Amino acid sequence: MSEKINIAIDGHSSCGKGTLAKNLAKELGYLFIDSGAMYRAVTLYILNEGLGLEEVEQDPAVLGNIKITFEFDPVRSYYETFLNGVNVENEIRSMRVSKFVSPVSTLKVVRDFLVTQQQNIGKDKGVVMDGRDIGTVVFPDAELKIFMTASAEIRAKRRYEELEKKGVHVNYQEVLHNIKERDHMDSTREESPLAKAEDAITLDNSSMTKDEQARLSLSWARGVIKSLASS
């Protein structure tokens, strides 16, 4: 039996972390977890409940009603996010949530709540998880860590096209501004800031196709698995 590993994929927003993670999970037969979607789902819950950030900080118990699950849609070949049993995949990608997700993500009570869930998922290995602090906080012992990056303009273009394709009409300049703002907040926040793990491999996909990224990262994963199996 081949060794199973955990794969941590970190990087800036709209780098294609989720797409790469899904491809790797599919090729390896692993479980894919979109940590960013988990933070977006919590943000949506807070917005819908009309909660203030101070309320959440002062009473972490309000998060106890949140249950986040992922279900694979074979038609779309896509993992969709469910919040308390309701499919919220499109709603959590809206600009309404995008504008608020970084402030929510800076809250220690929110990060502690989700990191505990994420670490429990990864105990048995065979998990591919993407986010901003997976290799540094969630899975510091992950056997393979990838740090993805690309220019803000390229990421904004990709994000804009993704939203338009889903029927979510937005302004490109607004998307670009949001991405730059999130980069700053994610990199400077006090709790688990976005940072490259010392043992992570950098993947700058500014000029790479999705297939090229998938082939390269899969070769890295298989190399790690092979070395573990032979050791």
Q: What 3-state class would DSSP assign to 130?
A: strand
Most confident of 92-96, 131-135, 220-224: 220-224
In this structure, are residues 40 and 114 in contact, taking their beta carbons and an 8 Å threshold?
A: no
Superfamily of chain region 6-214: P-loop containing nucleotide triphosphate hydrolases (3.40.50.300)
- Say whether pLDDT at 135 is over 90: yes
- Say whether pLDDT at 1 is over 60: no
Q: Of 69-78, 102-111, 148-157, 163-172, which gets the smallest average pLDDT?
A: 69-78
Q: Of 36-40, 77-81, 204-208, which gets the smallest average pLDDT?
A: 77-81
Rounded to whole angstroms, how far apart are CA atoms 123 and 104? 26
Rounded to whole angstroms, how far apart are CA atoms 89 and 81? 5
- Say whether pLDDT at 125 is over 80: yes
Rounded to whole angstroms, how far apart are CA atoms 121 and 101? 22
Q: What 3-state class would DSSP assign to 44?
A: helix
Query: Torsion angle of alpha carbons 51, 10, 8, 94, nearest 10°?
Result: 40
DSSP state of 3: P
In this structure, are residues 55 and 109 in contact, taking their beta carbons and an 8 Å threshold?
A: no
CA distances from 20 to 12, 14, 103, 228 (A): 13, 12, 26, 22
Q: pLDDT tens digit string along 146-165?
A: 999 999 999 999 889 988 88
pLDDT category at 81 given cuts 50, 70, 90 is very high
> How much is the average pLDDT of 129-153?
94
More confident residue, 192 or 125: 125
Q: What is the structure's pLDDT at 83?
A: 96
Q: How many residues does the chain have?
A: 231
> How much is the average pLDDT of 4-28?
92
DSSP state of 200: P
CA distances from 95 to 84, 100, 183, 186 (A): 21, 9, 16, 17
Query: Torsion angle of alpha carbons 91, 106, 181, 170, nearest 10°?
Result: 0
Burial of 227 (0-12, 13-18, 19+ CB in 10 A): exposed
DSSP state of 166: T
The pTM of the whole model exceeds 0.85 = no
What percent of the chain has pLDDT above 90?
70
Amino acid at 39: Y
List CB contacts of 203: < 8 A, sequence separation 6 or more: 11, 20, 146, 147, 148, 149, 213, 216, 217
Q: pLDDT tens digit string along 44-53?
A: 999 999 999 9
**CA-wise closest residue to 22 among 224, 222, 217:** 217
- Say whether pLDDT at 56 is over 90: yes
Q: What is the structure's pLDDT at 2?
A: 62
